[in-house]
Each structure stands twice: as structure tokens, then as C-alpha cells.
Amino acid sequence: MYEQFYGLKEKPFSLTPDTDFFYRYSGHQEALNVLLVALRNGEGFVRVSGEVGTGKTLLCRQMLKLLQNDCATAYLPNPLLTPLELYQAISHDLQLDLPVDASMQQLCQGIFAELVRLRKIKRPLVVLIDEAQAMPHRSLEALRLLSNLETEKEKLLHIFFFAQPEFEQRLAEDDLRQLRQRITFSYTLTTLHHRELSAYLGHRLHVAGFVGKNLFTPAAVRLLHKASHGIPRVINLLAHKAMLAAYGKGVRLVERKMVVMAIKDTGGLKLSKGMLSPPYVLEFSLVMVIAVVTLLAWGRLQ
């Protein structure tokens, strides 16, 4: 659509969680640090939670990418699994040679045998579960029981939960207290700070092939952050629409008015009075206040 106009090889603000576009802003970098430290310390369960759109799936896939050379991994993007389906999914990712109609016991024995083999070659198994807040209680309990496969000195299985904040409420329930007590490392994802947004936009544009700098004006960036509250998915959506608006007008610089158009076109977002007021109006008002105060002070001195 606008790729050729801006000299891009692909869309820079797609909503697809593509690890090529992963940007290590403070929230994601700290979450990665927590996950890696927990793994090095041999912790069994780790939880990363965040609001919708904060990049949990992208973080999960980036973690898979980082672990592929040193660990065996099982990735569960769909948590709506029965205990049997859960064990089958892990066995499938581990490429275990088991009967199609294997029972829970057979699957458990096969997974344990693989864990022992992986331990000998120093490749720990990490199971990454996306959208963990949707996993049924029985499956969460089956996962806890699977984590009992360990030696006297170390854990053979590491489980990383990526979930929305509702997961914490579920863990507070009495019948999940045993699982709750085993989660030793936790991190809550933060949103992008306004100082990070310009670099975030530049990073994604650069990966997409953009040559140049400051495609978005400072005023456009400020409004993007106000409207999105720093949530990456909303930023991507608004940035994409703003670029479409600029392309439609045949201009190569994305200005504040294009972001206004993008906000108006996006359901669930509202333009507050503060957003609609151009920055120079606020600056002018401040200058007037200072001028009035100065005149009053001068009058009193006289």
C-alpha cells in the first residue's frame, strides 16, 4: 500500500508478533532479564503478566528464539487444553515416539525419560505457555504434577507463564495455592515511556527498510503516546493509520493532524480536549501568564 511510497520492504507496524521487530524497551528488557535469571537459578515456575497489547506473545516468541540453541522448548500458544491434550502437546513438541492413543501415564513416562536424557546433555526443558489465564484448572494442576519430575538436587522442567492480570486472581484461589507457592519469579510488563516511543518508532521503521530519520514529527509522537498510553499494540495501530493518512495526502512526513485522523478512525479511543489543543496554544498561554504576573509585580513596585 504505502510501502513503495516510503521506500519500505514491508509494513513497519503490523500487529503480527514478528520477532524481527522486537524492540528491547525497558519493560521487555527487564522481563527478559527476569526469565533468564530464573532459568539460570533453576527455578521451576515463572510468571510474566501484562495488560492486553503490551507484547506478551512477542516476548514469548523472542524468548523461544533466545533459548533454541541451549534448551529444549515446548510452546503452547493455545492454553485451552485438557490434561491429556497438554501432555500430548508437550510430547509432540519434544518429538517423542509414543503411540497416538498413549495414556496419561505413558505420556508422563515418555516425558520423564526425555527429561533425563536432556539433563545428561545439559539441555533443560522450558515450556512456554501463552495466554495462561485461559488454561483450565485441571490442566494447571496437571502441569504442577508434571513439574514433580525432578532429581534430588535440581528441577528438570521449567515453566514460563505469559498471562493477562486475571491470572493473578486465579492463582489467589484456594485450589491453586500449591501452584501459586511454586511461582518464585514474577514480572509485570510496563508500557512504553514517552521518552522511548520515538526510538521504538524509528526501530520498527528501520527494520522495515526505511532510510532516513524522524518520519513522525515530535508533536505526532507526543499525541501517539497520549492516545495509546504507551501500549505497543495501540501504538502500532495508530502509527499504521497515521502513515496511511499521510500517504493519502501525498506527504512524506507524518504530522500531528494525521495522528488525530487515526485516533478518530479507531474504536475505543477518544480525543480529549488536551489532545486536541496544539502544543503551541499551551506554550502561548504560559507566556501570557508570565507576562501578566510580571506586569502586576512591576505595578506594585511602582
Would you say residue 278 lies in a domain? no
Residue 286 has a pLDDT of 34
CATH of the domain at 200: 1.10.8.60
The whole-number average pLDDT for the span 259-267 is 92
What are the tens digits of pLDDT across the range 186-201? 999 999 999 999 999 9
pLDDT of residue 271: 67
Residues 73 and 121 occupy one common structural domain? yes
Q: What confidence category does residue 133 fall into, taking pLDDT thresholds of 50, 70 and 90? A: very high
Report pLDDT digits (tens) over 212-231. 888 999 999 999 999 999 99
User: Do 155 and 200 share a domain, yes or no?
Assistant: no
Q: What's the CA gap between 230 and 190, in Å, rounded?
A: 9
Q: How many CA atoms lie within 13 A of 24 on its CB side?
A: 6
Do 63 and 78 fall within a single domain? yes
In this predicted structure, the answer to whether residue 268 has a pLDDT above a threshold of 80 is no
Q: Which amino acid is present at 166?
A: E
Q: Decide which of 43 and 150 is more confident.
A: 43
Confidence label for 73 from pLDDT (cuts 50, 70 and 90)? very high
Nearest to 13 by CA among 1, 24, 30, 25: 1
Residue at a domain's end among 188, 210, 231: 188
9-11-14-18 Cα dihedral, nearest 10 degrees: 10
| Cβ proximity of 56 and 189 under 8 Å | yes
Average pLDDT, integer, range 96-100: 93
Please tell me whether residues 96 and 170 are part of one structural domain.
Answer: yes
- Give the CATH number, domain containing residue 36: 3.40.50.300
- Name every residue whose Cβ is closer than 8 Å to that of residue 220 and which is 6 or more positions away in sequence: 242, 254, 255, 256, 258, 259
Task: Give the per-residue pLDDT at 77.
Answer: 94
Same domain assignment for residues 141 and 197: no
Cell of 175: 485450589
- Give the pLDDT band of residue 267 (cuts 50, 70, 90): confident
| Percent of the chain's residues with pLDDT above 70 | 88
What is the percent of the chain with per-residue pLDDT over 90, rounded to a whole number? 77
Indicate if 44 and 72 belong to the same structural domain. yes
Which residues make beta-bridge pairs with 18? none
- In this structure, are 233 and 149 located in the same domain? no
Same domain, 129 and 221: no
Please give the tally of structural domains in the chain.
Answer: 2
Is the confidence at residue 302, as pLDDT, over 90? no
pLDDT for 2 beyond 70: yes
Query: Residue 273 — pLDDT band, cuts 50, 70, 90?
Result: low
pLDDT score recorded for residue 155: 80
Domain that holds residue 114: 26-188
Report the predicted TM-score, pTM, of the whole model to 2 decimal places.
0.85
The answer on 199 and 94 residing in a single domain is no
pLDDT of residue 291: 38
Indicate whether 231 and 217 sit together in one domain: yes
| Strand pairing report for 125-130 and 72-76 | parallel
